[in-house]
Amino acid sequence: MWNEGPGADFQAHGHYLNMSSPKYTHVFCGLAPSPDGKLWVVHNFY
């Protein structure tokens, strides 16, 4: 996600913008294995 690099377009750089924003001080992560062995990951910036 850091590879998205800086940029103003949220569609192209959204993860980078969220992770580097001083507006957010916490990140919450959820992980869940699916029956086919894949791992689903979600994160929420707060």
Task: Please give the pLDDT value at position 1.
Answer: 65
Give 13-33 pLDDT, tens digit per residue: 888 888 889 999 998 999 999
Query: Whole-prediction pTM value?
Result: 0.56
pLDDT averaged over every residue in the chain:
89
Res 7 pLDDT > 80? yes
Quickly tell me which residue has 């894949």 as its tokens. 38
Task: Please give the pLDDT value at position 34.
Answer: 96
Assess contact for 46 and 24: CB atoms under 8 A.
yes
Task: Please give the pLDDT value at position 15.
Answer: 82
